[in-house]
Amino acid sequence: MNKPVITVIGSINMDLVTVVERFPNQGETILGERFLTTPGGKGANQAVAAARLGADVRMIGAVGEDAFGRELLRSLQSEGISVDGVKPVTHQHTGIASITISEQDNRIIVVPGANHALAPEDLDQCESVIAESDVCVVQLEIPLSVVERAVSLACRHGVRVIVNPAPAQLLPPSVFKKASFLTPNEHERTILFDKMDEEAFADKLIVTEGAKGVRIWQDGQERLIPSFQVPVVDTTGAGDTFNGAFAVALAEGKPLEEACRFANAAAALSVTKLGAQAGMPTRGDVESFLSKQKES
């Protein structure tokens, strides 16, 4: 079987991760337990998730011409991801995310840097890459004008496009109309549909609800596809793993429910290790995990 071709248009960050017993109060200094720098960014995370699951992945984004940028490009290439569409920029630092992990949850501040130097014209230059894809995936850590262009180009070439509306912001109606799927979490769902009629887009909505699972609407029926219970080390990147895995399953022609179950399994495995990408499973990991679920 040919590998599914997935193009991810999105952010590339270095994650600066601190693990701490409890979150500090305002104005308080506390001692952390662990610190690490590790590759992240919603776009790059989704690209890595899809690549580990067997897709041929092309990344479109931007990094600074600095040490983090070089390291992140090397890291994407080591996963077999094409970085021909990643623009090096001199006037901005590589994007970073300051992440604090505690109480089985995280708090994240992103400084976009070079991610916000990506322009709609950069996507025009990658039009053939988008046209050759089975599925495109886009998130909101890049300028909204780029998101709009990505969705339009995919739509022009009849390529399905998953819009992961994270971090939450309002989207223009054209993005709702052209997206094949919208994958907010519960918080993002509230913001996304503040001014839009949710019912009109229910058939393209997949709401990720963390440990509960994902909610879908098919033929007017609402359904929760339950997630899998696993020991949680770090939930950072779980939503990204879901999106990358869902893109692969969709490109392979899996029906919606089966695609969500496959992506739920990948996301569950991803939370068992520290770091957004460290726990992302391979195809073999997901298949053996799912076959064990059938046995039990």
**Which residues in the 24-63 window bind ligand RIB by CB under 6 A?**
40-42, 45
* Region of residue 140 (left: phi > 0; alpha: psi -120 to 50; beta: else): alpha
Pairing mode, strands 160-164 and 13-19 = unpaired
Q: Given candidates 110, 206, 268, 280, which one binds ligand RIB under the rule CB under 6 A?
A: 110
Task: Calculate the alpha carbon distances from 137 to 5, 45, 147, 154, 246 in Å.
Answer: 11, 11, 10, 10, 10
Q: Does 11 bind ligand RIB (CB under 6 A)?
A: yes
Q: Alpha-carbon distance 34 to 235, whole Å?
A: 16
When asked if residue 134 is in the footprint of ligand RIB (CB under 6 A), the reply is: no
**Per-residue binder mask for ligand RIB (CB under 6 A), 56-85, x = binder:** ------------------------------
User: Is 124 among the catalytic positions?
Assistant: no
Binding of ligand RIB by 15 (CB under 6 A) = yes
Q: Which one, 75 or 236, has the nearer CB to ligand RIB?
A: 236
> What is the nearest approach in angstroms of ligand RIB to the Cβ of residue 38?
8
Q: Which residue number, 32 or 152, has a Cβ lying nearer to ligand RIB?
A: 32
Smaller CB separation from ligand RIB, 5 or 110: 110
Does residue 97 belong to the site contacting ligand RIB (CB under 6 A)?
A: yes
Site residues (CB under 6 A) for ligand RIB, limited to 139-158: 141
Q: Interface with ligand RIB includes 115 (CB under 6 A)?
A: no
Binding residues vs ligand RIB (CB under 6 A): 11, 13, 15, 40-42, 45, 97, 108, 110, 141, 236-237, 239-240, 276
Residues annotated catalytic, as ranges:
240
